[in-house]
Amino acid sequence: MISLSNRKGDVVVVLEHGATITSWIVGGKERLYCSPTTKLDGSTPIRGGIPLVFPQFGHGSICTTKHGFARSQPFAIDNVNERKKNSVTMILVDSIETKKVWNYKFKLKYRIVLEEDGSLTSAVAIYNLSNEAFRFDFLFHSYFLIGTTRDLKVRSLKGCKYLDGVERKKLEMETCEYVVIDDKEIDRIYINVPSEISADFGKDHGMLCIRTENLKDMVIWNPWKNKCASLSDMPDGDYEKMVCLECATTLTLPTLLEANGCWRGGQTISFDF
Ligand code: TA6
């Protein structure tokens, strides 16, 4: 476990397992949802925090594992900023395990910085070390802690197209000023989204601001009652206090990486009151 801090006393906790950020405390307030019943022993992906999805989002033709394997693999710590203790770089490379489901050589470098103002910067570089091009998805599967689902308003998406629902068959246009959770599961992939998105978490919970680089898609997910009850690693009622806002590259841009190529992307998240 790695703990990062800044001079204000904000704290970020990262686990080697999946390089998953499990806690982000700014101004004394936890901002990420991490399920109290998730396993932390490396046997399953962590339900909460910010797991990394790579090289496949959902089920698809890139590899056979849902949401890929990065969230289930132990990352190596490449470097912790010993002087300031506010950043860490973590690395995942191909192994016998990863090649079983995706037969490519790669390096994924992940740098996490807790900035002095409490914002959290996550930057990823993916290197193709194979002799041929590969296709990949990448996504920050961020689980945010919210006051209640009723208060959530995700702004900045009016005019963007999205695929709705689990089957994701129909492309629709967002016509509302803001997206809300409407007393049922929401599971949408917005495409070609702005590089700055804000989400109102309600009175006393502030406004989340997400700035991205090279991540043109955004998934909004809340499992609601029934799906939540079917998840063995999340308490039944916890859907009411979380939302996933997941910045991604999966649909808008073709993420084909040439041999010896490098792709970079990232996000910075911060809160305004
Ligand atoms: O990102 C949204 C999503 O793909 C949903 O469809 C949903 O079921 C979910 O992620 C959680 O997936 P998981 O494999 O972590 O249970």
Give yes or no for residue 224 CB within 6 A of ligand 1. Answer: no
Give yes or no for residue 246 CB within 6 A of ligand 1. Answer: yes
What is the number of the ligand 1 atom nearest to the C-alpha of 231? 16
CA 133 – CA 257 distance, rounded (Å): 5
User: Given this model, what pLDDT does residue 24 score?
Assistant: 98
- Mutate which of 39, 137, 220, 221 for ligand 1 pocket (most atoms within 8 A of beta carbon): 221
Give yes or no for residue 74 CB within 6 A of ligand 1. Answer: no
Task: Give yes or no for a contact between 233 and 139, defined as CB atoms under 8 angstroms apart.
Answer: no
119: how many CB neighbours lie within 10 A of its CB? 18
Instruction: For residue 47, report the distance from its CA to the centre of ligand 1, in Å.
Output: 10
Residue bearing the CA closest to ligand 1, atom 9: 221
Choose among 124, 129, 186: nearest CA to 157. Answer: 186
Give yes or no for residue 109 CB within 6 A of ligand 1. Answer: no
Task: Give yes or no for a contact between 34 and 232, defined as CB atoms under 8 angstroms apart.
Answer: no
Give yes or no for residue 67 CB within 6 A of ligand 1. Answer: yes
Please report the sign of the dihedral spanned by the C-alpha atoms of residue 255, residue 62, residue 19, residue 140: positive
Q: To which residue do tokens 């890929």 refer?
A: 68
User: Given this model, what pLDDT does residue 35 score?
Assistant: 98
Sites in the chain below the pLDDT cut of 50: none
Instruction: For residue 268, report the distance from its CA to the centre of ligand 1, in Å.
Output: 22
Coil/strand/helix, residue 19:
coil
Tokens, residue 115:
């900035």
Torsion region of 64: left, alpha or beta (phi above 0 gives left; psi -120 to 50 gives alpha): alpha
Give yes or no for residue 66 CB within 6 A of ligand 1. Answer: yes
Contacts of 154 (CB under 8 A, 6+ apart): 178, 179, 180, 197, 198, 199, 200, 220, 245
- Buried-state track 212-239, b at ≥16 Cβ within 10 A, e below 16: bebbbbbbbbbbbeebbeebeebeeebb
User: Given this model, what pLDDT does residue 273 score?
Assistant: 67
Task: Give yes or no for a contact between 85 and 67, defined as CB atoms under 8 angstroms apart.
Answer: no
What is the number of the ligand 1 atom nearest to the C-alpha of 139? 1
User: Given this model, what pLDDT does residue 167 score?
Assistant: 67
Residue bearing the CA closest to ligand 1, atom 15: 47
Give yes or no for residue 221 CB within 6 A of ligand 1. Answer: yes
Helices (runs of H) and strands (runs of E) counted in the chain = 2, 22
